[in-house]
Amino acid sequence: MDGSFVPRNNIEEAILLLMILLRKVTLNRIEWDPSILVSGDLMILANQLEELLPGTIHRKERFYALALCYYGAGKNVEALDLLRKLLSNREDPRHVPSLLMDSKICCENFSVTKDPGVSFARMALENLDGKCNQLENMANFLLGVTLSAYSKLAISDAERAKRQSEALHTLETACKLSRMEDPVVLYHLSLEYAEQRKLDAALHYAKCIVKLEVGSNVKGWLLLSRVLSAQKRFLDAESIINAALDQTGKWDQGDLLRTKAKLQIAQGQLKSAIETYTQLLAVLQVHSKSFGSRNKLFKDKRDQIRNLEVEVWHDLAYVYISLSQWRDAEACLSKSRAIKLYSSTRCYAIG
């Protein structure tokens, strides 16, 4: 037809076909098919879901899909609002996926929500009642993580110990249900043991993570080295970091190098620590140049790099202070100020 759009490549043709199908769905000419909604931007996908006519998909399915979109786009408060609507008495208060997701968001945003999500994880377990091992594993895992966060709010030592004990029990249950094959569960179990100063058990599970992931995840290496550091085994911890650095690309070496510098400081090797921090700053400079000219998609990564760079300048300033190299310390703090104007850590160091 005159004025019609002619696709220039396969991607444009695919998008056009999906848009035609979506138009037919909204006009009730064909049945709803969730595979039609394909998008690389979750907020665009959310807008497409919101534009569907009432009755095209079930309200419960719409609320849950929208919550997933908002959560994926980093809009956690909006996602929680949708989940609470879905879990209200008017909708479906026993919807297990929503209960699990609500618990997950609460735990990850504990400082904002002020609710660790324990009750939602418990309700999910009650409603599952052994019907699905995978969901039961996830519910136990989330209950363990939320109880760990909840224990930090306890006023009495007895209450804190009770919550910590229950957190360990549920995390161990999740670990058994996953047959020791879920690195995320193993990570939080090791972390919980470490926080409770049960370092031998923490070390065992940290080693399991590195073995299971074949050293592909920086978080596993870092946890293992930090547990060794807590046992005052600084040389072993540093050798773990060196092994991780050998297997990791430069893009992922920031936290590894910072941990290595801290281990060198703990051993009194201040000059070696300065060299490691210098190496880390060079890596961060490359990162900043790579992301500096990119669009808003990389804003979070850019902010993360800037925050790490500020912390590194502060670390380096304290090393120079311990060596009584005052001018070098002041230079580091001025570098920090150029990146981030306000910082309580910098004010303390200057004082």
One domain for residues 121 and 186: no
One domain for residues 134 and 192: no
One domain for residues 21 and 39: yes
Domain annotation covers residue 47: yes
One domain for residues 65 and 7: yes
Average pLDDT score, the chain? 87
One domain for residues 9 and 82: yes
Q: Is 271 helix (H, G, I), strand (E, B) or coil?
A: helix
Q: Which residues span the domain enclosing 157? A: 114-179
Give the model confidence (pLDDT) of 170-218 as tens digits.
999 999 999 999 999 999 999 999 999 999 999 999 999 999 998 888 9
Q: What is the DSSP string of 117-169?
A: -HHHHHHHHHHHTTS-HHHHHHHHHHHHHHHHHHHTT-SSHHHHHHHHHHHHH
Q: Which of 221, 248, 275 is the last residue of a domain?
A: 248
One domain for residues 127 and 206: no
Residue 213, both tokens: 């992931």
One domain for residues 173 and 185: no
pLDDT of 268 higher than 90: yes
One domain for residues 24 and 45: yes
Q: How far is CA 278 from the centre of its chain?
A: 27
One domain for residues 85 and 54: yes
Q: What is the model's pLDDT at position 297?
A: 46
Domain annotation covers residue 163: yes
One domain for residues 193 and 242: yes
- Cβ neighbours for 171, distance < 8 A, ≥ 6 positions apart: 140, 141, 144, 145, 148, 185, 188, 189, 192
Q: What is the model's pLDDT at position 321?
A: 95
One domain for residues 6 and 76: yes
State how many domains the chain has: 3
One domain for residues 57 and 131: no
pTM of structure:
0.80
Which pLDDT band holds residue 11 (cuts at 50, 70, 90)? Answer: confident
